[in-house]
Amino acid sequence: MKQSPASVLLSILLLVSAAGAHAAGAGEENLQLPEDVLPQLRPLLEQAMRQSPRVLERNLDLQQAEADAYVARSSSLPYAGGGVTYQGQRERQVNGSGATDARTTNGERLYYNFAVTQAVWQWGALEAARRMSRIDRDLAQMNYGEAYRGLAAEIRAAYLGLVLQKMGVRNAELDNRLATENLSRQQARYSANQITYGEIMLQQLRLDEASLAMRRAKAELEFALGAFRSLCGDASFAETDVPDAIGDIAQAPLVSPVAASSAADLSTAVQMAEKEVAKAKLGVVAPRFALFPRVGLVAGVVRDELSRDIIENRKYQADTLYAGVQVNWAIFDGYASKGQLLAARIRLSRAERRLSVLREATTRVLDRDRAAVGFTWDAYQVAQMRLRMAREGLAHQNEEAGRGLASQEQVDAAQSHVFVSQYSAQAALATHLNAAVQYLSSKGMDPVVRSAVPQR
pLDDT band at 365 (very low <50, low <70, confident <90, very high): confident
CB 260, CB 375: distance < 8 Å: no
268 C-beta neighbours (distance < 10 Å), count = 17
What's the whole-model pTM score? Answer: 0.74
The whole-angstrom separation of Cα 253 and Cα 251 is: 6
Dihedral over Cα of 408, 412, 413, 418: its sign: positive
pLDDT at 46: 84
Q: Which amino acid is at 384?
A: Q
**Which one is predicted more confidently, 98 or 53?**
53
Q: Is 364 exposed, middle or buried (0-12, 13-18, 19+ CB in 10 A)?
A: exposed
User: Of all residues in the chain, what percent are helix, strand and coil, respectively (each to 5)?
Assistant: 65, 15, 20
CB 162, CB 225: distance < 8 Å: yes
pLDDT in tens, 272-293: 999 999 999 999 998 998 888 9
Q: CA angle 389-395-399, nearest 5°?
A: 140
pLDDT band at 130 (very low <50, low <70, confident <90, very high): confident
Pick from 37, 25, 14: nearest CA to 370 = 25
433 membership: H or E segment, kind and range: helix 408-442
pLDDT at 12: 41
pLDDT at 157: 94
Residue 26 has pLDDT above 50, yes or no: no
Most confident of 43-47, 50-54, 387-391: 387-391
Q: CA angle 249-254-260, nearest 5°?
A: 145
The whole-angstrom separation of Cα 111 and Cα 302 is: 8
Average pLDDT on 146-171 reads 92
Pick from 212, 222, 113: nearest CA to 165 = 222
Most confident of 330-334, 352-356, 450-454: 352-356
pLDDT at 346: 95
pLDDT in tens, 284-322: 998 998 888 989 999 999 988 888 766 555 677 888 898
Local structure of 333: helix, strand or coil = coil
pLDDT in tens, 219-265: 999 999 999 998 888 888 999 999 999 998 888 888 876 665 666 67
Local structure of 35: helix, strand or coil = helix
Average pLDDT on 122-137 reads 86
Average pLDDT on 320-340 reads 89
Dihedral over Cα of 269, 272, 277, 283: its sign: negative
User: What percentage of the chain has pLDDT greater than the value 90?
Assistant: 37
Average pLDDT score, the chain: 84
pLDDT at 100: 57
Q: Which amino acid is at 319?
A: D
